[in-house]
Amino acid sequence: MFDSADYELRWPREVLARELAALRRTRPTTGRRAEPEDERIVFLLEDAFGEGPAEDYRQQAATGRQVAGAPWSEDPWGVNSDHRVAASSASGEDSYLDALVAALPELREHHEPAPYWPDRQRVRRSATAPPDPASLRRRFARLVEEHRARGLFGRDLPPVCVDDGDPVNEADVLESRLGIPGLWPLQPETWDSDTFYGLVEVFHDLAVRPRERSFHNWDGCGWHYSVFSADTGRALYRWSTNRLFERGGTTLRLADSGEDIGRLVQVTDEARGDLIDRVLAAPDHQVTDQVQHAISLFRRRDATTHDKRSAVVALANVLEDRRALLKSNLFSDDETQLFHIANKFDLRHRNDKQHAKYDPAFRDWVFWWYLATIELTDQLIARQSTRDAAATS
């Protein structure tokens, strides 16, 4: 079942797993319930895959009803359906969802169709051309419109309802965040870089994933959304926007962690991105706060030379606090070499004895070296804690 094209993921795996677990722990708070399946899970499957898995889920639930000998409800979507029918097939629903979660690591990801002939020729002819900012902005505007149609901004920018006598003024919402009037309807051809990047970050903060929906069929109005999750909505927004930026050839991404989460930062390779995630997951919250600030300074979109130097100094201060740990675990005097660089170059103690003429790449290397050394000290601390616990047990 799970190897069919219907099960191509349109969501990041870890976000789907978290959202599905959250929905299975709770029940709907408003609106109608699908009987026996929970409409919120049907909605989630449609969002993450499309129609196929949602229909498979319904069929699994229906099979559970028949096996249990329960009568088929004439109105499975109605408010008066017998809730005992839902309970009788719960095991069938759970078995399907358990199998889906187990298969998540192996499911294929949905990608845009392979380019057709004209597109391949354009790519071949423009292989050395720089990224097209205008094209990226147009595609971002379309992405925002698609997200809004699916309720991703439904708390602050709900879809227009035919019965709403006082609809939201989208331009006012955006102006209150960015201080720029007239940003709605979106007109990407009028944006400068600051406006574009500002909108990217504003829509991140507006993103919420709806968990419930109701259909308003009057005058073709459509779906209304409610019960929102900001964490899931923002994670989905970051994922889709970062994929768009990657295809657009830019060096910016929305940060997925740290104090600058949801803000545009300079991209790093996967290994350094993983290093950041590991360091930020360390249990020493006081140190983590210092490291978060250093990372934010270093990778921000508009980081200056002073910002990056300050980031290096902040990491050096963390290592200074752990100097005794380093000295006891490294070879004799090796820990002094860590601080020799920060002290002898124009990084930490700024005076005429320091070397000021060095390539910025050297400063960047020092930052990543210090960050990796902080991770090493985290591991040394964890190892010592394990030994201490074993000694006292």
- Please report, in tens digits, the pLDDT of each residue of the chain (393 residues total): 888 889 999 999 999 999 999 998 875 444 444 453 478 999 999 999 999 999 999 887 666 555 444 444 444 444 444 444 444 445 678 889 999 999 999 998 887 666 777 766 665 655 555 578 999 999 999 999 999 999 999 999 998 887 877 789 999 999 999 999 999 999 999 999 999 999 999 999 999 999 999 998 888 788 999 999 999 999 999 999 999 999 888 889 999 988 999 999 998 888 998 999 999 988 887 788 999 999 999 999 889 988 998 999 899 899 889 888 888 876 555 556 666 665 665 555 455 555 555 678 888 988 999 999 999 899 888 888 888 888 887
User: How many C-beta atoms surround the C-beta of residue 329 within 10 A?
Assistant: 16
320 CB-contact burial (10 Å; exposed 0-12 / middle 13-18 / buried 19+): middle
Q: Return the bridge partners of 209, or none.
A: 229
> Which residues in the chain belong to E strands, given as ranges?
209-216, 222-229, 252-254, 264-266
**DSSP structure string for 103-168:** HGGGPPBP-PPPPPHHHHHHHHHTTTSPP-HHHHHHHHHHHHHHHHHTTTTTTTSPPP-TT-SS--
**How far, in Å, CA of 342 to CA of 77, rounded?**
67
Distance of CA 76 to the CA centre of its chain: 35
pLDDT of amino acid 342: 59
370 CB-contact burial (10 Å; exposed 0-12 / middle 13-18 / buried 19+): buried
CB 43 within 8 A of CB 213: yes
Q: Return the bridge partners of 226, or none.
A: 212
Q: H helices of 179-330, where?
A: 193-206, 230-247, 270-280, 285-299, 305-321, 323-329
**How far, in Å, CA of 102 to CA of 17, rounded?**
10
Residue type for position 304: T
Q: Return the bridge partners of 300, or none.
A: 265
Least Cα distance to 50 among 115, 107, 114 occurs for 107
What is the SS3 assignment for 86?
helix
Q: How many residues does the chain have?
A: 393
pLDDT of amino acid 75: 46
180 CB-contact burial (10 Å; exposed 0-12 / middle 13-18 / buried 19+): middle
Q: Would you state the structure tokens that stand for residue 313, as one six-digit string?
A: 């100094």
How far is residue 247 from each of residues 129, 132, 214, 298, measured CA to CA in Å? 14, 11, 35, 24
pLDDT of amino acid 2: 87
18 CB-contact burial (10 Å; exposed 0-12 / middle 13-18 / buried 19+): middle
Q: Would you state the structure tokens that stand for residue 151, as one six-digit string?
A: 């309720």
pLDDT of amino acid 65: 52
Least Cα distance to 252 among 238, 267, 230 occurs for 267
**How far, in Å, CA of 133 to CA of 249, rounded?**
9
